[in-house]
Amino acid sequence: MVADDNFGFPFEPYEVQRQFMTELFAVLREGKVGLFESPTGTGKSLSMICGALAWLRHSLEHGIVDTREPNDNLDDEPDWIVDHFRESSKASAARIAQRVQRAAERRRRRISERKSKIALFGAEGVESHAGSSTTGEGDPYLLDDYFSDDETGKIGSKRLR
């Protein structure tokens, strides 16, 4: 079982979220089907994502993801075809596991970068920096005002009258 702090939740989860992720993890581990319900606004989507990814990460780390190929009546095929099919299935599963691990590493790096920015600016500095209304032309991240054709046409026609 995964410890509560290993779900990868981006902040301290509420008790209902922790229970949701724990039950989801157990259902996935046992290969069952689960029906979950929770009131609006309790973070079901984030809990579902974090719980499922925690199960996947745990399964990949412990090598317990079922990589068996489906039963495609391989008994009628020659041995070299069956062997090739099994090897390609294993290679495919290994590629998927590598992609998941690389994505997790990228996510960890982004989180680390964001934490270092927060440490650099401080929580108040990050909020005031994000909410600043300076509109220097040298800022490449600020968007220009946008007017659709309809809005421009209405404004232009009013000015002409």
Task: Assess whether 6 and 60 both reside in one domain.
Answer: yes
pLDDT tens per residue across span 56-96: 888 877 776 555 555 555 667 888 888 888 888 888 878 88
The answer to whether 100 touches 56, Cβ cutoff 8 Å, is yes
For 38, other C-beta atoms within 10 Å of its C-beta total: 14
Does some domain include residue 36?
yes
- Domain carrying residue 92: 77-125
Task: Assess whether 30 and 52 both reside in one domain.
Answer: yes
The phi and psi torsions of 130 (rounded to 5 degrees) equal -70, -30
Among 8-22, 87-101, 132-146, the range scoring the smallest mean pLDDT is 132-146
pTM above 0.75, yes or no: no
Select from 41, 66, 91 the last residue of a domain. 66
